[in-house]
């Protein structure tokens, strides 16, 4: 991994200008960067996966694949 330096932030600001983006980053000192990098890393737990499609089926009372296929077959003609 490349070491982060104030030059890193200066280059990002130059890219923002080239891309005509309306924001800039305050360029920190190397001391501020080193202090920030020395902080302990926060470990976030992996979020529980959610099957939103299954939730929608369950919301209308359909739980199995067989029920889903029957629902689709019975409702195709309505399109």
- DSSP structure string for the chain: -PPP-HHHHHHHHHHHHHTT-S-------HHHHHHHHHSPPP-PPPPPP--HHHHHHHHTT--SHHHHHHHHHHHGGG-
Residues 34 and 50 grouped into a single domain: no
Q: Is residue 1 part of a domain?
A: no
Residues 72 and 49 grouped into a single domain: yes
Enclosing domain of residue 72: 44-79
Query: Across all residues in the chain, what is the average pLDDT?
Result: 92
**Number of domains observed in the structure of the chain:** 2
Task: Give the predicted TM-score (pTM) of the model.
Answer: 0.52
pLDDT in tens, 38-68: 999 999 999 999 999 999 999 999 999 999 9
């Amino acid at each position: 991994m490349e070491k982060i330096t104030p030059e890193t932030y200066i280059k990002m600001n130059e890219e923002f200008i080239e891309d005509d983006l309306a924001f800039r980053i305050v360029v920190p000192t190397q001391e501020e960067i080193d202090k920030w990098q020395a902080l302990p890393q926060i470990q976030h737990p992996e979020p529980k996966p959610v099957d939103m499609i299954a939730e929608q089926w369950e919301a209308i009372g359909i739980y199995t694949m067989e029920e889903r296929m029957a629902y689709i077959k019975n409702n195709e003609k309505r399109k």
